[in-house]
Structure 1
Amino acid sequence: MHTTPVDGTADPRFTAVRERFEQNFTERDEVGAAVAVFLNGRNVVDLWGGTADPATGAAWTADTLAPIASTTKAMASIAVLHLVEEGRLDLDRSVAEHWPAFGANGKDAITLRQVLSHRSGVVSLEHAPVTFEGLVEGGPVFDAIASATPQWTPGTAHGYHGVTFGHLLSAVVREVTGSTIGAYFAEAVARPLGLDCFIGLPEAELPRLAKLVVPNNVEEVMLGIGVPELAGLYAALADPGTLTFRAMYGSLQIGWESADDPRYSLVEAPSTDGTANARGLAKLFAATIGEVEGVRLFGPALAEQAGTVYASGRDEVLNIRTDWGLGFMVPGGPMVPASIPAGSFGHGGATGSFAFADPANGIAFGYTPNRGSELLEGNDLRVNDLVDAVYESLKP
């Protein structure tokens, strides 16, 4: 049987995580990846292996970075909650108090809490879809959000803010700090912790970036074959008249055909195009539930709110069940591995990445592959196997 060498370290208690990680290469078509786990602020798993660039055969190393797609939303949420902890933002004040232009077209009373829990209704930019040029300039995306109309009465329903989420938060952070969310995250969050996590990758870091590999079976992925829980999503994505299509494909003029273009990692795209390694993501989440190297990003009260269920049930955008906390996916629906307990919070991305924190058990987890996920937002068999192994390792 072909085996892929795995490098790094794992505490003997977490041998099962190393075994599952190795099995992902032999049984799950893993190309290159890294996984990391922190337990009570200590790094107990830090593994990597495989190929960072199939075209050149370059090996995945300890410092390889990967595109993380929507897991970037977690980085944006953490930056915002850091500002809430400092008293510079208030969850229950209207966004328009900080960003007056946002108040147009029925958005004047939308609160930051409603945005973070995907209940604001500001989900569609079909009137001015996001383009690469818009990302470079920044302003056109903010202007499109400011002129958007909510797709439901804010606070009365929930739906994934797949395209708008990070940009909306970035506009708020810019109004409060003078910096976009990528710049604020770099200075206030990543630098104190020494994180390899970026919302807008510095060009000097490009040589470390793994090459994204789009799944071979794209047709099966889009049809959602074998995944009944996602059938409603894929049916709606195939109909341009649905809110699902308008909020996702209709709001973003960038598709999988551009996913491996490094230009998108260089610009600030806080909904979709951050970069990180597993160690950086795990360390980031560890600092949300405890102190890491003298740094804690926000206190227990906000960590509890992050994992509190603010929205559950049919998602108006995804047309499936989703469960949302305060800026994060939370356990309950098909977006989160079943073994993750209530009170935890995290996020996944279409590149296969996934990260979360579990305050009750002191666990923080990060996973960064370069082969895109077969399922929505990273919750596929590879990450499920790894997460299951983490919890098996915690048993006496």
Structure 2
Amino acid sequence: MCPASELGASPRTNGAGAHGPGEETPGPAEVPGPAAPGPAGPNRAGALRTIGHGRSKAPHTPGNNRSWVGDAAVQDPASGLLAFNDAGLPGPAFEALTGTFRTHLQRARGGMAFTVYRAGAPVARFYGGSRTERPSPDDPVRDPWTPDTMTVLFSGTKGLVATLAAVLAGRGELDVRVPVARYWPEFAANGKEDVRVWHLLSHTVGLPYVDPEPAGEWAVLDNAANARALAAQRPLWEPGTRVAYHAITYGYLMTELLRRITGKDVGALLAEELAQPLGLDVHLGLPESLDSRVAPVFRGPDYAISTFLEDPERRRIVERMYRGTLLGGDLFNTPQLRRGQLAAGGAVGTADAMARLYSRLAVAVSPVARGRDRTGCADSVNSDAHATDTDSSGSSNASSAGSGDDAHAARTPGNGPDGTGTLVHPDALAQATREWAEGVDAINDRPLRFGLGFELDDSIGTYGPVRPAFGHSGAGGGLHGAWPEHGIGFSFLSNEMLAENKDSRAKDLLTALARVL
């Protein structure tokens, strides 16, 4: 790991802590991704029907109603499997990925997708199973999962919000080292006047639940009411001294912060900054006209929010954190959730959209683009970018290199979906994807490692065997992320939620992917 500046008064408490970033070096805005593998070899897909093994046609995009089956390299009508070898992976490599996906598909009562993109272009894509719950994996697939099937991303949404924050930081509109109150004055209440923006993004702010909770049947979807309550609330601990996953409140906090800066709702911001320019099929505030493409989510019989949690007292805290969103009922299949803008977990999208986005981010922050060696360390240091100041108590805290207006002079050169512009300024993305907080979750004992809103590769291998990696996971098994050194973005998405200690779907697929790169 590269050197990092430990923020002054941030002792490791309960095994948790937080700190600022290491140095960074400016680099080119964007570079081409690695070349795709060579032509495909023979395709031996076992019992699966082999349709072809070269490059398939372009991936499906919304509004394109052509049949996908004729483009698939492999299809299996019984399981609904469609497998696309877009980059012409060698036969054995493609077969290995297909075999791993099929293994999990044979156990599924729902549907799933695993997609891999490099520098914005598809490498390999897999879809299968049922959009609706089946009593048994052996039952026929009558409602197959297809490339344009969407489902709830759960906390994969947080990665989209983190990307929006990085976009604004790259333009100089957001400085993560200044107090939140600079943008949101009411947030200074109850001793929070010196809480920094990075505390919100790195899950170290100490506001894991809303107290008191706003009243009303749909209060969990009321961003404004929950933001007001959090602004008035006192943190449970000194911000920056502990890390604990802010499962729902992250969304309220970031929604209001982004609104104060841009004057826009987070759903509109997502559409304008990411979805529309890049043609991404992802929505925070889904139009009713797209409901028919959404696969309803359902829980496996042994599903639990966290298998790391055993203490009854801390479980009660977790129940307050989630406010019933995952503990019962059917909130995530309701029209209210789909129309709402729950930035902690309410986005709806396809696996292709998420993999394509992260592949663009992977290229922007790759070691080549950032001028780094393979360890991730900068070749040179811009020391002016990481000044510190001393507060009245004498402790050193991360601070801006300048005022909120000029601290980030770099501007995003462009946002074109054709790759000629930069989605996120490389400096801002490098800042967002280096470690800002690491430790054992102060509430549920899970090991955590965060950048600025992004999860980072961790000790339990969440993002597979390749490092560095960043992205965000979602409840029930969803995983979306990037391997920068390979220019790779990936997404695993399913409507069947499994307990994390029994769910190896994404990890197995990433392990298989790493072997063929």
Q: TM-score, normalised by structure 1?
A: 0.88
Establish whether residue 6 from structure 1 lines up as the match of residue 131 from structure 2.
no
Change (3 A) 1:131 1:245: farther
Equivalence for 2:329 = 257
- Aligned ranges 1:180-329 → 2 under 5 Å: 180-218=265-303, 221=304, 224=307, 230=308, 234-236=309-311, 239=312, 241-242=313-314, 245-250=316-321, 252-254=323-325, 255-263=327-335, 264-290=337-363, 293-294=418-419, 295-329=421-455
- Does the 8 Å contact 2:305/2:475 carry over to 1? no
Identify if the C-alpha distance between structure 1 residues 222 and 175 changes in structure 2 by more than 3 Å, giving closer, same or farther: closer
Which residue does the alignment assign to 1:158? 243
Would you say 1:351 and 2:476 are equivalent positions? yes
Closer/same/farther in 2, CA of residues 115 and 383 from structure 1, 3 Å limit: same
Residue 224 (structure 2) pairs with residue 139 (structure 1) = yes
Q: Distance in 1 between matches of 2:343 and 2:509?
A: 26
Query: How far off its partner does 1:358 sit?
Result: 1.5
Does the 8 Å contact 1:131/1:252 carry over to 2? Answer: no
Work out the percentage of aligned pairs sharing the same amino acid: 26
Unpaired runs of 5+ residues, structure 1, are: 225-229
Structure 1 counterpart SS, 2:476: coil
1:372 is aligned, of 497, 500, 511, to 497
Farther-moved stretch of structure 1 (297-306 vs 354-363): 297-306
More helix by share: 1
Post-superposition offset of 1:317: 2.5
Q: Give, in angstroms, the shift of residue 245 of structure 1.
A: 3.2
Distance 1:129 1:287, change over 3 A: farther
Q: 1:71 to 1:129 in 2, by over 3 A?
A: farther
1:55-96 C-alpha deviation (Å, 9 max, x unpaired):
794221221101111111111111111111111111111111
Q: Residue 43 in 1 paired to residue 168 in 2?
A: no
**Alpha-carbon separation, structure 2, partners of 1:367 and 1:79:** 21
| C-alpha spacing 1:165/1:250, structure 2 compared with 1 (3 Å) | closer
Question: Post-superposition, which runs of at least 4 consecutive aligned residues in structure 1 deviate over 6 A?
Answer: none
Q: Give the conservation status (yes or no) of the 8 Å contact 1:306–1:328.
A: yes
The amino acid of 2:442's aligned partner reads E
Q: Distance in 1 between matches of 2:481 and 2:194?
A: 31
The answer as to whether partners of 1:277 and 1:367 remain within 8 angstroms in 2 is no
TM-score by length of 2: 0.68
Displacement of 1:130: 8.3
The whole-number CA distance in structure 2 between the counterparts of 1:335 and 1:143 is: 37
Corresponding residue for 2:99? 19
Cα 1:259–1:8 change in 2 (3 A) is farther
Mapped to 2, the partners of 1:198 and 1:319 lie a distance apart of: 32
Tell which structure's C-alpha radius of gyration is larger. 2
Q: In structure 1, how many angstroms separate the alpha carbons of the residues matched to 2:316 and 2:215?
A: 14
Matches within 5 A, 1:99-178: 99-128=184-213, 133-178=218-263
The reply on whether 1:65 has 2:136 as its aligned counterpart is no
Q: Which amino acid aligns with 1:261?
A: N
Other structure's SS at 2:498 match: coil
Structure 2 regions of 5+ residues with no counterpart? 1-46, 48-75, 135-140, 365-416
| Contact 1:68–1:352, Cα closer than 8 Å, also in 2 | no
Q: How many residues align?
A: 376
Distance 1:129 1:389 in 2: 46
Out of 310-319 and 205-214, give the one that drifted further: 310-319
Cα contact 1:48–1:60 (8 A) shared by 2: yes
CA distance in 2: counterparts of 1:222 and 1:315, whole angstroms? 14
